[in-house]
Structure 1
Amino acid sequence: MADVTFCSLPDDNLVEFACQVAAHFYQLRQPVLITCQDKAQADAVDEALWVKEPASFVPHNLADEGPKSGSPVAIYWPEAPAPRGRAVLINLHEAIPHVAVQCAQIFEAVPNSEALKVAARTRFRSYQQQGAAPKHLSLADFLAQTH
Structure 2
Amino acid sequence: MAQVTFYFNVRSREQALCQLVGKAIAQKLSVSVLAGSESAAYALDRLLWELPQTGFLPHCAADHPDAARTPVVVDHRVELMPARDALFNWTDGVPGGLDRYARILEIVDQSDEARAAARTRWRAYQAHGITPEAIDLLELAKQARP
Distance 1:70 1:118 in 2: 36
User: 1:67: how far off?
Assistant: 1.4
- Alignment match, 1:9: 9
The change in CA–CA distance for 1:118 and 1:40 in structure 2 (over 3 A counts) is same
Work out whether residues 67 and 73 of structure 2, in 8 Å CA contact, stay in contact via their aligned partners in 1. no
Quote the sequence identity (%). 28
Select the structure that is richer in strand: 2
Once superposed, what is the RMSD of the aligned Cα atoms?
2.4
**Number of aligned positions between the proteins:** 142
- Counterpart check, 1:40 vs 2:30: no
The change in CA–CA distance for 1:82 and 1:139 in structure 2 (over 3 A counts) is farther
- Alignment match, 1:125: 123
Moved over 6 A (4+): none
Work out whether residues 18 and 51 of structure 2, in 8 Å CA contact, stay in contact via their aligned partners in 1. no
User: 1:115: how far off?
Assistant: 1.4
Residue 102 of structure 2 aligns with an amino acid whose one-letter code is A
Distance 1:6 1:109 in 2: 6
- Alignment match, 1:21: 20
Work out whether residues 82 and 99 of structure 1, in 8 Å CA contact, stay in contact via their aligned partners in 2. no
Q: Deviations over 1:19-55 (max 9, x none)?
A: 2211110000100000111111111111111123575
2:88 alignment partner, one of 71, 87, 90 = 90
The residue correspondences of 1:57-76 to structure 2 (distance < 5 A) are 57-67=56-66, 69-76=68-75
TM-score, length-normalised on structure 1? 0.83
Task: Name the SS for the 1:26 alignment partner.
Answer: helix
The change in CA–CA distance for 1:96 and 1:110 in structure 2 (over 3 A counts) is same
Work out whether residues 62 and 82 of structure 2, in 8 Å CA contact, stay in contact via their aligned partners in 1. no
User: 1:77: how far off?
Assistant: 0.4
User: 1:57: how far off?
Assistant: 2.7
Distance 1:110 1:134 in 2: 13
Work out whether residues 14 and 92 of structure 1, in 8 Å CA contact, stay in contact via their aligned partners in 2. no
Work out whether residues 63 and 81 of structure 1, in 8 Å CA contact, stay in contact via their aligned partners in 2. no
1:109 alignment partner, one of 107, 110, 131 = 107
User: 1:102: how far off?
Assistant: 0.5
User: 1:114: how far off?
Assistant: 1.2
